[in-house]
Amino acid sequence: MELLTVIKKFNTKVECVKYLEKLKWNNVPECPYCGDQKSSPKQNRYTCLKCNRSYSVTVGTMFHSSKVPLPIWFLAISLILSAKKGISSRQLSRHLSVDKDTAWFIQKRIRKAMIEKDSVLEGVVEADECFIGGKKKNRYFKKRQKDPTRRMTGYSEKIPVLGMFQRSGKIITRVLNHAWGKEIIPIMKNWISAKSTIVTDGFGGYYYCSEHFQSHQVINHSKYNHRYDQYHMNNIEGFWSMFKRSLIGQYHKVSNIYLQDYLNEMAYKFNYRKSTDMGFKTLMHNMLL
């Protein structure tokens, strides 16, 4: 949904509640405590006629127990979704006129609703790893380049990340402890159907892919032809370069703990890039779970 539409449409609590009630209940309120659908309404709230408890559409959801007004949540979601390269919590705090702790709290909850839960990738799936590291570590890496063992020492300073992209489908990413097969293969098996064709580069971590998936196509970067080969890794490589640019632009240093959160956010936006309305609706739906 366009930012301007959200600003115009959801500028009052009543409008936001109306949208959420339709999304969660299809307009038939249901008591979150006993599940009964008979209630008496009073100012955005309902009293259950069975258990006599009072509730609203946001009880027990990510919107609940925060002092942040609903129109601010809607605006925050829209801002985060429309920032292609991400938005820092400082920027978010300025746009929403809230303090930076509140902005950080909002951002954290919204990112939690962006976590991919039960997707299974199938068909042609590109898998690739990428190494993320802070500026200091990059300098260290460059300094180490003269060292013949630099590949090991340099990369061990960076955080490895695995990406899995289904052709014309979703991307799923996972931060790794180590970029090696015994960690990579179980993650791939968890997210990718065994009937899939896996496309990877020649990195040893993917060596046993052919034992777990229907087929394994190994791309030789120095030889393969971008234009004519049906098996390529252009999509996943495109995602990595976008992700790295967003890290440079928005998040000046990467914290190990939050890297997966950043990745989830960028992957979510990437997955809904062709349908921003669906991205907005799905996120709202996840916030209500």
| Residues contacting residue 28 through CB under 8 Å, at least 6 positions apart | 37
Contacts of 9-13 with C-beta under 8 Å, sequence gap 24+, read 10/70, 10/71, 10/74, 10/75, 11/71, 12/71, 13/44, 13/69, 13/70, 13/71
Q: Which is nearer to Zn ion, 3 or 51 (CB)?
A: 51
Q: Which is nearer to Zn ion, 49 or 120 (CB)?
A: 49
Q: Which is nearer to Zn ion, 33 or 231 (CB)?
A: 33
Cα Rg of the chain, angstroms: 22
* Residue 104 found at the interface with Zn ion (CB under 5 A): no
Pick from 16, 17, 20, 31: which binds Zn ion (CB under 5 A)?
31
Q: Which is nearer to Zn ion, 15 or 30 (CB)?
A: 30
Q: Which is nearer to Zn ion, 52 or 138 (CB)?
A: 52
Contact in structure between 236 and 212 (CB atoms under 8 Å): no
Q: Residues 232, 236, 239, 240: is their CA dihedral positive or negative? A: negative
| Residues contacting residue 172 through CB under 8 Å, at least 6 positions apart | 116, 119, 121, 163, 164, 165, 191, 267
Least distance to Zn ion, CB of residue 45, Å? 13
Distance, CA of 58 to CA of 56 (rounded, Å): 5
Show the tokens assigned to 14.
Answer: 């009543």
Pick from 1, 6, 17, 48: which binds Zn ion (CB under 5 A)?
48
- In 125-275, alpha helices (H): 135-143, 150-156, 181-191, 209-212, 234-250, 256-271
Of 27, 23, 26, nearest to 1 (Cα)? Answer: 23
Candidate ranges 45-53, 99-107, 133-141, 155-163; the one touching Zn ion (CB under 5 A): 45-53
Distance, CA of 257 to CA of 98 (rounded, Å): 24
Q: Which is nearer to Zn ion, 3 or 49 (CB)?
A: 49
Least distance to Zn ion, CB of residue 48, Å? 3
Of 236, 268, 252, 263, nearest to 81 (Cα)? Answer: 268
Least distance to Zn ion, CB of residue 33, Å? 5
Q: Which is nearer to Zn ion, 50 or 252 (CB)?
A: 50
* Residue 49 found at the interface with Zn ion (CB under 5 A): no
* Residue 36 found at the interface with Zn ion (CB under 5 A): yes
* Residue 51 found at the interface with Zn ion (CB under 5 A): yes
* Residue 287 found at the interface with Zn ion (CB under 5 A): no
Least distance to Zn ion, CB of residue 46, Å? 9
Least distance to Zn ion, CB of residue 199, Å? 52
Count residues binding Zn ion (CB under 5 A): 7
Q: What does the per-residue mask of binding to Zn ion show for 111-150, with x meaning CB under 5 A? A: ----------------------------------------
Least distance to Zn ion, CB of residue 44, Å? 17
Contact in structure between 202 and 219 (CB atoms under 8 Å): yes
Residues near Zn ion (CB under 5 A) are 31, 33-34, 36, 48, 50-51
